[in-house]
Structure 1
Amino acid sequence: MEENQNNSKESSVKSEIIETIKEVIIVIIFFLFIRAFIFENTKVIGPSMEPTLHENNALIVNKFEYRFTNPERGEIIVFPYKGDPSKHYIKRIIGLPGETIDIRDNTVYIDGEPLEEDYILETMEPRGDIAFPFVVPENTYFVMGDNRNNSSDSRYQDVGTIEKSKIIGHAVIRIWPLNEIGFVK
C-alpha cells in the first residue's frame, strides 16, 4: 500500500513539473512572438534627438503599426544604419515620398512651404553632403534628428532616405528614466 502511495506521489510530482515546463515554454513563445512582431524596446545612443529624447532613454517601439498604415511626418522611427545594420538609428520623419525637401536660410521647406518645428531649440547650421532641393524617392522617408547640428541623418548619403520596409518601428513610449515615462511626442 505504501509503495502505491509513493508511486502516486512521484507521478503527481512528475505531472506537475511537466505542466510547469509547458507553461514556461508557452510564456517564452508568447514573449518572443510579441518581441518579433509587435513591440520591441530600444535605447537612445547619442544626442541627435535632443531635446525630445536623451542619451540612455529607453523606448518601446511599435513594430506592428506600419504593416497597415504609412508613417507620417513628425513620427519618430527606428531603423538600421545602412553602414552597419547592427546599429539602430532613431530619427524624426520630415519628408514623405514624392515631396521636395529644401533647406535654406536655416529652415526646412517641404514643397516650398516652411516646416513648423517646435521641437528644435537652436538655429540649424548647414550640414550634409546631398544637394538641395531634394525629391524624396517613392516608398522612402527623409529623416532628421531634432538636434540638427549634431545628427547624422538623411542629409548625408551614408544614411540617405529610409525605405518603408527597413523601418523597424515607431517609437511610442519612453520607459526610462522613470520620471519621464510617457508617450513620445
Structure 2
Amino acid sequence: MSESSFEPGNDRYGSQNSKSKRGKKKSFAQELVSTFLYIIVITGIFVGIRTFLFAPVSVEGDSMNPTLEHEDRLLLNKVSSVDRFDIIVFPAPEDPDKQYIKRVIGVPGDQIDYRNQEMYVNNELIDESYVDLTQESDEVSAYYNGDFSLPSLQGVEAVPEGMLFVLGDNRINSKDSRSFGFVEAETVIGETSLRIWPLNRIGSVD
C-alpha cells in the first residue's frame, strides 16, 4: 500500500485561502490610502478656493451702514476686477494685520469733489443712494462730513495710477481715504457683492 505524503505548502486549498486573506488585507490597505488621498485632494481644493478665489468675510463696526451692518457675513471674490463703487476689502494702511471694508469712489484718473453733501466724480453729480444722513442734523453732517477735494486732502488733482480713493457709506463714522489717503490697488484682497448672513438678509449687496 502506498502512502501519500502531506506538505502544507503544497495544499492547493490552503494556498487559495492564504491568497484570499492577503487579497483582503491588500484591498483594505488600498481603500485606506485612497480615502486618505481623497481627503488630501478635497482639502487642497477647499484651501485653494479660499486662498485664490472666494472666502467668507465678517463685517466689524458700523462704517458701512446702512449698506452693511456689524457682523454681516459676505462672500469675498478674490479674482474679480475692481471698479468704481465696488465694495472692497484691503489691509488697514495703519495696521496691516487688520482689514477694512469700504466703497471705491475714485479710480486712477478720477477727480473727486464733495460739496454741500453731494459727491462729484469728474464733475458729474453722483447719486449716492447708499448713504443715509437723514438721522443726522445739518450741523453734525457739516462737521463730520464736510466738503473736501483731492487737492485739499492729498494735494493732487486726480487719483494717481495704481491707487484707489475709498469711503465708508456711513460718512459720519468712517475712517477712510479722507484720513489715511489712497489705497494701493495691488493690496486689495477682493471685492464683495453677496451677503451670506444673516439668513433674513441673504442676497446681493447693492
User: Common fold, TM-score beyond 0.5?
Assistant: yes
- Which residue of 177, 181, 194 maps to 1:173? 194
Q: Give the aligned partner of residue 47 of structure 1.
A: 62
2:124 maps to 113
Distance 2:26 2:107 in 1: 63
Number of matched pairs: 178
Q: CA deviation at 1:65?
A: 1.5
Q: Deviations over 1:140-174 (max 9, x none)?
A: 111111111011111012xx211211111111211
Partner amino acid, structure 2, of 1:24: I
Structure 1 match to 2:182: 161
In terms of Rg, which structure is larger? 2
* Counterpart check, 1:151 vs 2:163: no
> Does the residue aligned with 1:114 lie in a helix, a strand or coil?
strand
Aligned partners of 1:125 and 1:149 also within 8 Å: no
Contact (CA 8 Å) 1:127, 1:155: kept in 2 or not?
Answer: no
Q: 1:133 to 1:64 in 2, by over 3 A?
A: closer
Partners in 1 of 2:132 and 2:76 — Cα distance?
Answer: 25
- 1:98 and 2:109 equivalent? yes
Aligned positions of 1:68-87 closer than 5 A: 71-87=82-98
Quote the offset at 1:178 in angstroms. Answer: 1.0
**1:140, 1:125 → 2: CA distance?**
27
- Could you tell me which residue of structure 2 aligns to residue 65 of structure 1? 80
Q: Is the 8 A contact 1:97 1:136 kept in 2?
A: yes
Aligned partners of 1:51 and 1:120 also within 8 Å: yes
Seq. identity, %: 40
Secondary structure of the equivalent of 1:86?
strand
Question: In 2 relative to 1, CA 111–126 (structure 1 residues): closer, same or farther, beyond 3 Å?
Answer: farther
- How far residue 126 of structure 1 moved from its aligned partner, in angstroms, is 4.2
Aligned to 2:161, the other structure's residue is in SS state coil
- Deviation of the 1:15 alpha carbon: 0.6
Q: For residue 183 of structure 1, what is the aligned residue in structure 2?
A: 204
Larger helix share, 1 or 2:
2
Partner of 2:5: none
User: Structure 2: which amino acid aligns with 1:156?
Assistant: S
CA contact (8 A) 2:109 2:159 kept: yes
Normalised TM-score (structure 1): 0.88
Letter in 2 for 1:94: I
Give 1:114 deviation, angstroms.
Answer: 2.5
The answer to whether the 8 A contact 1:37-1:63 is kept is yes
Aligned counterparts of 1:40 and 1:127: Cα–Cα separation in 2: 33
TM-score w.r.t. structure 2 length? 0.80
* DSSP-derived class of the 1:36 partner: helix
Query: How far off its partner does 1:5 sit?
Result: 3.0
How many angstroms apart in 1 are the aligned matches of 2:122 and 2:190? 26
Give 2:190's aligned amino acid: G
Instruction: Confirm or deny that 1:132 pairs with 2:143.
Output: no
